[in-house]
A and B are shown apart, each in its own frame.
Chain A
Amino acid sequence: MAQVLAMILAGGRVGELDVLTFFRPKSVLPYGGLYRVIDFPMSNLMHSDIENVGILSQYRPFELIGHIANGEPWDMTGRHRCAVILPPFQGRGASDWYKGTADAVYQNIDFIRLNDPEIVVVLSGDHIYRMDYRKLIEFHLEKNADLTVAFTRVSPEESSRFGLASIDEEDPRGGRLTEYREKPKNSQLEWASLTIYVFRTELLIATLKENAASPSHEFGKDIIPMLMEKHRVYGYKHSGYWGYTRTIQEYYRTSMDLLGNTPKVDIRSWELRTNMADSHIRDRQPAFVGPLASLEDVFFHCGCSIRGRVARSILFPGVTVEEGAVVEDSILFFDSTVRSGAVLTHTIADTDCVISEGADIGDPGDGLTVIGMETTVPEKVRIRGGVTIHPKLKTGSFSKKEYLGGEVVQ
């Protein structure tokens, strides 16, 4: 196979993820009861035998740096393998914060040259999917393409949020891109960009240099249209599961796709890897299910202690649900605790939250309630659906007995 280098765009904080990304970039958002979102591209790369990865990050990278470690969780250590975090840096000239996806890669052309690959794959770190990139690269080489972009079919009503294209029908796997529009309104185009790009290295570098002079530096908005004028740009059709995590609603829906008797996505068969040495995971005892517990359609991992009722929910390592507590349709991140008599419905609680005795949080059907990390919700407070609670709040921050949808506690 050709020498391939992967560049993962993992830096951003997405406004729409709100309190969940106050202290972490979206790429390390916990997902699926164990993983971080970036584990999906990292595991895909590992299974695709791509062993050299640069990860571009500029927003609060601490958790990401710890998670990627030296690449060992994905076997990317050794003589010819690497997983490297590439933060923005100051050069002799006016290097600066990354000004866009294309600029982030542009500022790391040295890293690309050092690796000297034939092909560069640019990925983003915020999607839930399984893909064998080798097939994509094979397609790219077979078509003698200059740029290949992966697409998935979407329904028109949700299409306006994506880069959309029409693809020539020359091959079931994909074909020449005949039209591409970035986030168009009222478009009939049905193929949405997965922001997965395969470039020949020299063309990538030349294109990024050319783009550097212009005011905007995005792969979707700027680079694809630029190359479509004179080069062979192809669309590759991805047909498997594709989950978005860019808004809290999307994140919740993509998480709930894991549950049910016939889940939309069976990630347990995806052979994923994560950083098991993470202090949130390692050295925990197996989960304990108590004598009065009731579990129905639940994901959980090591260190959980479940003595209450849990239904249609995902519990990360270290979550405690005390006897007499109820958790339904919810997601609890690492080490959160639901005390006896508390009820949690249709809620996402970030790491190290405590829901005190008798608190009643969330409503089925209404908007999601989201609780930021390390917040303690006081006893017996009523928090309706659609409330946002900021991280690191103590019980004293809650002045009212009841909060209504749309309110923000901070």
Chain B
Amino acid sequence: MKGPAAILLAGGVGSRLNILVRHRAKPAVPFGGIYRIIDFTLSNIGNSGVTSVAVLTQYKPLSLMDHIGDGSSWDLSGRSRRVKIFPPKTGEEDWDWYRGTADAVRQNISFVMSAQSDEIMILSGDHVYHMDYRLMVSFHRAKKARVTIATIPVPWEETYQFGTAIIDDDSRITQWEEKSPRAKSNLASMGIYVFDREYLISLLTESKEDDFGHHIIPRALREKVVYAYPFDGYWRDVGTVQAYWDANMDLLESSSGIDPGSWKTMTNIYSAGPVFDRPPVSVSSLARVRRSIISPGCTIDGQVENCVLSPGVVVERGASVRDSIIMHDCRICEGVQIERSIIDKEVVVGAYTMVGRGDPKTVNVTHPEHLYSGLTVIGKRTIIPGGITIGTNCIIDPMLEPGTVFPKDVKSGMTITRG
């Protein structure tokens, strides 16, 4: 069968990820050691035989564009395969930022019109999951649907974050609620749509509405042509610091259902990092490594337990890292102790500093809604001095240079900024 063309909405800000999205869009946030969040969707695309992809970017697209490159990492380059990046562009009136998901697709309607496919998939680059889109398209065709939305049951207390569907016996959606505080169903939209191409064009050209969930879907619903594709695999919207940490930790538990290896998740190993290839991991006779994901190029002389380590991390002798996510090329110096922390790329933690100890209930002062569960986050390329302590729920800004004044005791809940 001829597969669909895909539009990947990769503009998400993901502001609840706090300093992890200070310099990159949410889809570009590193995940699981060597991946970025968008790799899961791009790999699903590549593995489902989708050969034509438009990536719509908006917020801080640089590292994303770098990462996607020519698409060859996901087998999306060649004579008949392509991935194109569409940043927002100047329209007839002024600079038109995308005002919503439907608006973003409308502004690139020429891609939809010229697509050599009967169906268009609309995807987002914000989620960690594995799906064969071919099965969803087959479902769409079998139901003679004009719109199909992938759905998954979510805990009732989370329904307010999602569009939710009530379906009939034939999986046809009869009622739709968008981010309702009192949803009548917990069957949530995964933000994955299959549209008949012609129908999508008519929906977008007949109105000026901005958002799929709020406007377009309710309109299609009235014509009784919208179906819910049931999905029951692993799927996470890693939109909060805690959810991001949880999903990374799921990698350490084989029963969790997340498995990038068997999912054939692909990534671009060239886009960021050194000009040479990452060498093998070296674990010395001084080290102790347990229950962890370790990426190439790591050098470990200390203790690592329940961690996800990205490439090039150095853990010096006498250092101990537990229950943490450490990103590319961080140096954890001698005698350092780290617990329950997320440390962005190229951070140096000075000798004998302790990170992440304290009362997990002391929420962050500046961002209580982001850091409240006892995790501490350190921003990219910051240099942490030696011999200090940093508590829980702390935010240490990116790019803090050696001259930055740190209190000797960064108490739980504190935020350290450049100023």
Contacts and interface: CB of A to CB of B under 8 A. Distances in A.
Nearest to A318: B261
Interface string B287-301: 111111111110100
Interface string B270-313: 10001111011111111111111111110100000000010000
B34 A286 contact: yes
Nearest to A43: B276
B269 interface: yes
Contact of B296 (A73, A286, A296): A286
Contacts of A297: 283-285
A261 to B, nearest CB: 6
A287 B294 contact: yes
A34 B279 contact: yes
Given A286-B32, A293-B290, A301 B275 contact: no
A284 interface: yes
A375 B297 CA distance: 30
A293 B289 contact: yes
Nearest to B266: A283
Interface residues of B, number: 38
A230 interface: no
Interface string A17-54: 00000000000000011100000000100000000000
Given A261-B286, A291-B290, A302-B295, A285 B280 contact: no
Which range holds the interface residue count of chain A?
35 or more
A271 interface: yes
A393 interface: no
Classify the interface of chain A: helix, strand, loop or mixed: loop
A257 B120 CA distance: 56
Interface stretch (A97-105, A121-129, A185-193, A272-280): A272-280
Contacts of A302: 34, 295-296
Contacts of A287: 281, 293-295
A286 B293 contact: yes
B265 interface: yes
Interface string A303-326: 100000001001000000000000
A285 B294 contact: no
A32 B275 contact: no
A259 B207 CA distance: 67
Contacts of A228: none
A268 interface: yes
A84 interface: no
Nearest to B308: A286
Contacts of B293: 285-289
A295 interface: yes
Contacts of A274: 277
Nearest to B281: A300
A267 interface: yes
Contacts of A270: 276
A234 to B, nearest CB: 31
Interface in B54-107: none
A91 B279 CA distance: 43
Contacts of A293: 289-291
Nearest to B294: A287
Contacts of B295: 286-287, 302
A67 to B, nearest CB: 13
A281 to B, nearest CB: 9
Nearest to B306: A291
A26 to B, nearest CB: 21
Contacts of B288: 295
Contacts of B292: 288-289
Nearest to A284: B261
A205 interface: no
Given A276-B269, A283-B264, A289-B289, 20 more contacts: A33-B280, A272-B276, A272-B277, A283-B265, A285-B32, A285-B260, A285-B293, A286-B32, A286-B34, A286-B309, A288-B252, A288-B294, A289-B292, A289-B293, A293-B291, A295-B288, A297-B283, A299-B281, A302-B295, A314-B280
8 contacts: A43-B276, A268-B280, A271-B274, A273-B276, A286-B294, A291-B291, A300-B283, A302-B34
Closest 3 CB pairs of A and B: A33-B280, A271-B276, A286-B33
